[in-house]
Structure 1
């Protein structure tokens, strides 16, 4: 028996291949959008993919379960409450799947979603591992507030938090302390609030160290779980629906993105995501463009700033980067929203003002300062006492709340998000001088310590 963990760092997502060497068969758990890594693993081990288990309809990434099933003939297993639109076999509480000497057993563990399941792996008659999806993380449990208006069955966060209390205590914590815990996400995911950097643990270790598994009343658990959760990106409900339906095949969908000529000029009023480096963007860009720089979290911020009901153009500094960005967009199903993609290397329609940090430092009262960090970050302390707080995911809708009687300085925590934020404010307030504090914010943060 072998367990292979696949990691997508951009989405802090873990997926798994369970290999029965004696049977030459593989079962996948929560695969990502690109199916090729799983095909390659099966081929390397002279094995056939016979099953794909979806622990729930994921909100933060698009799964390739349907494509893999159509290509390999593998059966898709998921809980009947999902109401899946694709061919599948219900894998409800107590259902079992045998491959070689491995037995996979379903536990219905609602809490993150009403239809969540965890998969216990039994080998040689003993429970060895549990694949917990978004129910139990390392150091945390799944947030309960994503299914209030999405999915086949919706539920209020307080109701799901209560279900999580019972799922953890009556199901998962009853497993042997030695059972290895394999979650669907790690640190950096927005599916919880305190995920560890570790990629696995044990039931015993989590019972000792995970705040959510400590002795407490149901009421206390509901309170601690529902408070201080991170923001919900715009794309989360869209991905739940797409995963319930089954996404189109990955490579054909990417190939279907319309490629446009270099320095293409979108129509007036079009939504343009310009992913070039912020320095290049500030030198020259199209009016109204949003500067979401290519980086480790591009797909998260793309889906947090752009809504799934919108269609957008995508620009990059090279053909290679453009293809990379399309692949990243596809991880959340946003390649389907691209009106056209093009390389941009020569545009001077408009430019952005560059901040004089020294002048700002000495005369801060002469500026309106906008803090675009998340609410939880601001609770931990403000960088500037008089800053107006508007989180980046809300900025397009709320930019007109910003006073225009002074130049506007936008800041985040480290400089990456403020490039997007300042470009959004610049587009919304064209008559106002908008400045990006960028990485210089770190000097001000350090001075406050």
Structure 2
């Protein structure tokens, strides 16, 4: 069967493209739709359907733009109520793509409209299942997102629905089916997803904790909800955009591609409530940045950290970016619903310096410098990694404040004495540094290379050692 997984690592997102006899379908597309259109052109095919597995929370889907540009029919599963024209399929309904068949299997639990699509090839053989956030490799979808939109849909109720969907709809299917999920490791839509992005259903039945055959519903609900951290704040806002509709990416891009010379940039920054977002790497940012700007580097998990650190998707944004990276940054912001970029600094930060504008710097130290300081002075140390990373291994006496919780705990950072920040690899610590600088803190440093470099030194660490993921 001709199926292609189109994986976007920075969002840990998988869309799917299938084609047969000049007809194509796309499942769960990202906001920028030209790659799917170009892919269909390669096959001389017409995109007939855009299938959505559910109303996504972690990204804004490209179904509306893809439908508008190609005439493709948007399809949701049972109980979906979008605010725009779409086909609401019935459980068991079959759609045709050339000689392929797509069978709708309603699998509520992650959300009530969540749907799995069974793929049947031109010989009538069941090939695989596109599971959305119902079933991941090594995990299942979190059941606590819908309650942020509809309060009565509690996480316990949805977990119960998910248990029934998995046992009654998914697990009876053939073991040789290939599982095609919507996300892989790194997504906030689950808690223990594998780095693998496909597997057979039979193997998942053996290794996925949530598919244990003798598991009771109570055991399942407890296992699913234990250790579930709060979802990123932008998730409910993305859900509503996917339900109600949104501006086309072309409109977003037209508004955002506004090059501003330093004087004009300064005026706009002063006269609006726009947030100045510097997307350069940490090393360049620390050498010089515009006062009150924050740093979230484009080279990392950019969209996810924007979503974590900027509470309102409607926030106006001014970009400081490397020349030539403007469209990439705007596109990646729009993937998670941040559609209000109103301009960027023309020719980047160098233009700001050349114009003799005021700028600030931030101090960083190497792991070896930190080791010497730790032995001599034993400074106050903040570990801004996730709790799970901290629990695996950390510097003795370090205070754990995860980056996504920093704004709730600003009072814990002293202004009258110095301290040190570290993360896993130095990306998150610079985000934290920029936020603290913006709020008036100055007596601190962060560690270049983070815990990955500190681990090579003799700084005392907790005894239990487990590999951490560098971000």
Using structure 1 for the length normalisation, give the TM-score. 0.92
Tell me the CA shift for residue 183 of structure 1. 0.8
Whole-angstrom distance in 2 between the partners of 1:10 and 1:133: 18
Whole-angstrom distance in 1 between the partners of 2:299 and 2:176: 38
The alignment's C-alpha RMSD in Å is 2.1
Question: Which of 177, 183, 186 is matched with 1:185 structurally?
Answer: 183
Aligned to 1:291: 295
- 1:174-198 Cα offsets, whole Å, 9 max, x none, are 1011111111111221111121222
Tell me the CA shift for residue 358 of structure 1. 4.8
Aligned to 2:468: none
The 4+ residue runs of structure 1 with deviation greater than 6 A are none
Aligned to 2:19: 19
Tell me: CA distance 1:231–1:321, structure 2 relative to 1, closer, same or farther (3 Å).
farther
Tell me: CA distance 1:115–1:63, structure 2 relative to 1, closer, same or farther (3 Å).
same
Aligned to 2:311: 307
Whole-angstrom distance in 2 between the partners of 1:309 and 1:262: 26
Tell me the CA shift for residue 143 of structure 1. 1.3
2:306 is paired with a residue of what secondary structure? helix
Aligned to 1:254: 253
Aligned to 2:325: 321
Aligned to 2:432: 421
Tell me: CA distance 1:181–1:121, structure 2 relative to 1, closer, same or farther (3 Å).
same
In the alignment, is the contact (CA less than 8 A) between 1:313 and 1:340 conserved in 2?
yes
Tell me the CA shift for residue 366 of structure 1. 4.8
Aligned to 1:351: 361
- Which ranges of structure 2 fall in alignment gaps of 5 or more residues? 466-471
Tell me the CA shift for residue 290 of structure 1. 0.9
In the alignment, is the contact (CA less than 8 A) between 1:98 and 1:104 conserved in 2?
yes
Tell me the CA shift for residue 29 of structure 1. 0.9
Tell me the CA shift for residue 354 of structure 1. 3.3
In the alignment, is the contact (CA less than 8 A) between 1:110 and 1:116 conserved in 2?
yes
Show the 5 A alignment for 1:167-182.
167-182=165-180
Whole-angstrom distance in 2 between the partners of 1:197 and 1:389: 26
Aligned to 1:36: 34
Whole-angstrom distance in 2 between the partners of 1:42 and 1:76: 17
Whole-angstrom distance in 1 between the partners of 2:340 and 2:311: 10
Tell me the CA shift for residue 231 of structure 1. 4.5
Aligned to 1:150: 149
1:56 is paired with a residue of what secondary structure? coil
In the alignment, is the contact (CA less than 8 A) between 1:59 and 1:236 conserved in 2?
yes
Show the 5 A alignment for 1:215-254.
215=213, 216-254=215-253
Aligned to 1:412: 423
Tell me: CA distance 1:357–1:46, structure 2 relative to 1, closer, same or farther (3 Å).
closer
Tell me the CA shift for residue 20 of structure 1. 1.9
Aligned to 2:469: none
In the alignment, is the contact (CA less than 8 A) between 1:122 and 1:128 conserved in 2?
yes
- 1:386-439 Cα offsets, whole Å, 9 max, x none, are 222222112134323323332121111121110101111222233x41211131
Aligned to 2:454: 444
2:277 is paired with a residue of what secondary structure? strand
Question: Which of 101, 114, 120 is matched with 1:122 structurally?
Answer: 120
Count residues with an aligned counterpart.
443
